[in-house]
């Protein structure tokens, strides 16, 4: 009896999903604006937090230089306006909360709908969980012809219980409202497929992944000019970290492992290029205090240009629990720095194991300790991995190639969606419905 009840529930859930899909499809077809592909199609790029603008640099400029009119949307913040000016695009601030907030979310959805109805873009690209959900719904309600949900990672991987179910539902809805779910890495695409975020035909990976690639002219090996300013001796071993300082980035494990590294190599320093992010996975007060008070941990806060900081490092560590495709690993590799990162979704795509860096399981400080010591104790191996890392990036992830592929795909998607016109019904000769001239 209970088995039958389970089957009935599953069938009901599947039926509901199919009903939503049919509704979305029919509504979109009804509202899609009938126009020809434009020489300068308008694309709206939306993210939740202004902090995320750092991962859009280069991407927005490339789209603009490829003939798109680009409007950037996010919550208000200095980085929103600064990024728009730097990339030469328009910007609109719409407050969006990262956490679940029904009233604020509804208000943000209405504002997004009003914006899209006014701008009438040919295409939207929304990413990050909240903007991905609300923006994708707004895009389908306003009949945007080409809709992309850019999957930069799966936050639900580090959640459990009802919160995980809610996040999964949000990912599914955002995907259902989009024509394409563009995945940041091969492992992220595989994980999204296993979780049922979208169908195999909708999940798409361009090339080898990565949202931006890396600017190899900006991130390159060179002399270290920052140690003196940072208070790090010339002969010190420097372990580096770049990114938001949160639990999901594995910061607590890194801090614990560093104490063991320091005991084994007393001249070691830990350089943390990033800031304490007040997200749901924010660090506890004890860990923040430990970082700020530790005599050998150097925390920079937010840095606009991280390139010189990589040249201070002997090895970079990203002990993350989840990623899409970490840009910082590519930046370190382009600088000729070997990386220790985890086997988590996304991060495992950013390293060639034992060639450009080392992969470890997430959540194990001892694994960080052992891997970092392997590289610090073998200078020749360290340098060999660094050379191989830069060569790998030059072959696969130069920014102009990665971003050029994206712009080309977006143009083809717009052309495809706008070229679909309803077929004319044939009528018998002499019929009252036959047009007269």
Whether residues 36 and 178 fall in one domain: yes
Whether residues 262 and 205 fall in one domain: no
Whether residues 201 and 263 fall in one domain: no
| The two structure tokens encoding residue 31 | 């509202």
pLDDT of residue 30: 54
How high does pLDDT run on average in the chain?
89
Segment 34-69, tens digit of pLDDT: 555 557 899 999 999 998 998 898 999 999 999 999
Does pLDDT of 26 surpass 60? no
Average pLDDT over residues 78-85: 94
Report yes or no on 25 lying in a domain: no
Predicted confidence band of residue 281 (pLDDT cuts 50, 70, 90): confident
Count the alpha carbons within 13 Å of 331 in the hemisphere toward its beta carbon: 24
Q: Exposed, middle or buried by CB within 10 Å (0-12, 13-18, 19+), for 351?
A: buried
Q: Which residues pair with 186 in a beta bridge?
A: none
Whether residues 197 and 268 fall in one domain: no
Report yes or no on 433 lying in a domain: no
Are 316 and 240 in contact by the 8 Å Cβ rule? The answer is yes
Report yes or no on 111 lying in a domain: yes
Whether residues 289 and 147 fall in one domain: no
**pLDDT above 70 coverage of the chain, percent:** 87
Are 71 and 91 in contact by the 8 Å Cβ rule? The answer is yes
Among residues 237, 241, 374, 214, which one has the least CA distance to residue 318?
241
From CA 154, how far away is CA 167, in angstroms rounded? Answer: 9
Are 182 and 151 in contact by the 8 Å Cβ rule? The answer is yes
H-only helix segments in 210-351 = 227-230, 251-264, 285-293, 307-310, 327-334
From CA 53, how far away is CA 327, in angstroms rounded? Answer: 13
Does pLDDT of 430 surpass 90? no
In order, the DSSP letters of 70-116 are EEEEESS-HHHHHHHHHHT-EEEE----SS--HHHHHHHHHHHHHHH
In order, the DSSP letters of 400-436 are HHHHHHHHHHHHHHHHHHHH--PPPPP--TT-TTS--
Segment 326-374, tens digit of pLDDT: 999 999 999 999 999 999 999 999 999 999 999 999 999 999 999 999 9
pLDDT of residue 435: 34
The pair phi, psi for residue 169, each rounded to 5°, is -60, -40
- Provide the whole-model pTM: 0.85
Q: 148: domain CATH number?
A: 3.40.50.2000
From CA 210, how far away is CA 401, in angstroms rounded? Answer: 11
Cα four-point dihedral sign 395, 400, 406, 407: negative
First to last CA, the chain: 68
Report yes or no on 420 lying in a domain: no
| The two structure tokens encoding residue 33 | 């604006």
In order, the DSSP letters of 288-322 are HHHHHH-TTEEE----S--HHHHTT-SEEEE--S-
Provide the 3-class DSSP secondary structure of residue 255. Answer: helix
Give the H/E segment covering residue 204: strand 203-205
Whether residues 203 and 249 fall in one domain: no
Whether residues 165 and 272 fall in one domain: no
- Print the domain residue range for 244: 227-396
Long-range contact pairs involving 419-428 (C-beta distance under 8 Å, separation at least 24): 419/37, 421/34
From CA 175, how far away is CA 195, in angstroms rounded? Answer: 12
Does pLDDT of 132 surpass 70? yes
From CA 192, how far away is CA 47, in angstroms rounded? Answer: 20
Whether residues 247 and 132 fall in one domain: no
Whether residues 405 and 390 fall in one domain: no
Predicted confidence band of residue 70 (pLDDT cuts 50, 70, 90): very high
From CA 237, how far away is CA 239, in angstroms rounded? Answer: 7
From CA 403, how far away is CA 57, in angstroms rounded? Answer: 11
Report helix angle 365-376 to 379-396, nearest 10. Answer: 100
Report yes or no on 222 lying in a domain: no
From CA 89, how far away is CA 96, in angstroms rounded? Answer: 21
CA-based Rg of the chain, rounded to a whole angstrom?
24
From CA 217, how far away is CA 222, in angstroms rounded? Answer: 11
Report yes or no on 26 lying in a domain: no
Average pLDDT over residues 406-432: 68
Whether residues 378 and 270 fall in one domain: yes
| The two structure tokens encoding residue 342 | 């985890």
How many degrees, rounded to 5, is the angle at CA 82 between CA 77 and CA 88? 130
Segment 171-202, tens digit of pLDDT: 999 999 999 999 999 999 999 999 999 999 99
Predicted confidence band of residue 10 (pLDDT cuts 50, 70, 90): very low
Whether residues 246 and 365 fall in one domain: yes
From CA 105, how far away is CA 129, in angstroms rounded? Answer: 12
Q: Count the neighbouring beta carbons within 10 Å of the beta carbon of residue 164.
A: 15
Report yes or no on 351 lying in a domain: yes
Report yes or no on 20 lying in a domain: no
pLDDT of residue 29: 54
Whether residues 97 and 238 fall in one domain: no
How many structural domains comprise the chain?
2
């Amino acid at each position: 009896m209970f088995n039958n009840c389970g089957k009935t529930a599953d069938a009901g859930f599947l039926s509901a999903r199919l009903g939503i899909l049919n509704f979305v499809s029919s509504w979109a077809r009804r509202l899609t604006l009938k126009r020809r592909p434009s020489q300068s199609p308008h694309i709206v790029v939306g993210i939740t937090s202004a902090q995320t603008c750092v991962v859009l640099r280069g991407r927005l400029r490339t789209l603009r230089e490829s003939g798109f009119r680009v409007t950037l949307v996010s919550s208000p913040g200095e980085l929103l306006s600064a990024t728009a000016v730097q990339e030469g695009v328009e910007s609109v601030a719409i407050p969006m909360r990262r956490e679940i907030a029904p009233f604020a979310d509804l208000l943000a959805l209405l504002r997004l709908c009003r914006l899209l109805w006014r701008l009438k873009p040919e295409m939207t690209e929304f990413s990050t969980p909240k903007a991905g959900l609300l923006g994708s719904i707004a895009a389908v309600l306003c009949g945007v012809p080409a809709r992309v949900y850019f999957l930069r990672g799966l936050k639900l991987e580090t959640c459990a219980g009802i919160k995980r179910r809610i996040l999964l539902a949000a990912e599914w809805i955002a995907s259902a409202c989009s024509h394409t779910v563009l995945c940041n890495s091969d492992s992220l695409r595989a994980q999204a497929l296993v979780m049922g975020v979208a169908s195999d035909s909708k999940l798409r990976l361009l090339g080898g992944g990565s949202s931006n690639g890396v600017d190899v002219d900006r991130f390159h090996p060179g002399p270290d000019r920052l140690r003196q300013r940072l208070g790090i001796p010339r002969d010190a071993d420097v372990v580096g970290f770049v990114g938001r300082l949160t639990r999901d980035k594995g910061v607590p494990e890194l801090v614990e492992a560093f104490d063991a590294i320091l005991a084994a190599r007393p001249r070691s320093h830990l350089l943390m290029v990033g800031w304490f992010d007040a997200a749901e996975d924010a660090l506890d007060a004890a860990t923040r205090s430990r970082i700020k008070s530790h005599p050998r941990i150097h925390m920079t806060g937010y840095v606009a240009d991280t390139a010189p900081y990589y040249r201070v490092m002997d090895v970079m560590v990203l002990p993350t629990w989840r990623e899409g495709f970490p840009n910082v690993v590519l930046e370190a590799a382009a600088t000729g720095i070997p990386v220790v990162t985890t086997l988590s979704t996304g991060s495992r795509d950013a390293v060639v194991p034992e060639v450009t860096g080392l992969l470890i399981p997430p959540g194990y400080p001892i694994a960080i300790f052992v891997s970092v010591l392997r590289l610090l104790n073998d200078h020749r191996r360290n340098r060999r991995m660094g050379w191989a890392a830069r060569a790998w990036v030059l072959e696969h992830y130069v920014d102009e190639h990665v971003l050029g592929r994206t712009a080309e795909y977006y143009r083809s998607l717009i052309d495809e969606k706008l070229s679909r016109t309803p077929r004319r019904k044939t009528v018998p000769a002499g019929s009252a419905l036959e047009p007269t001239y």
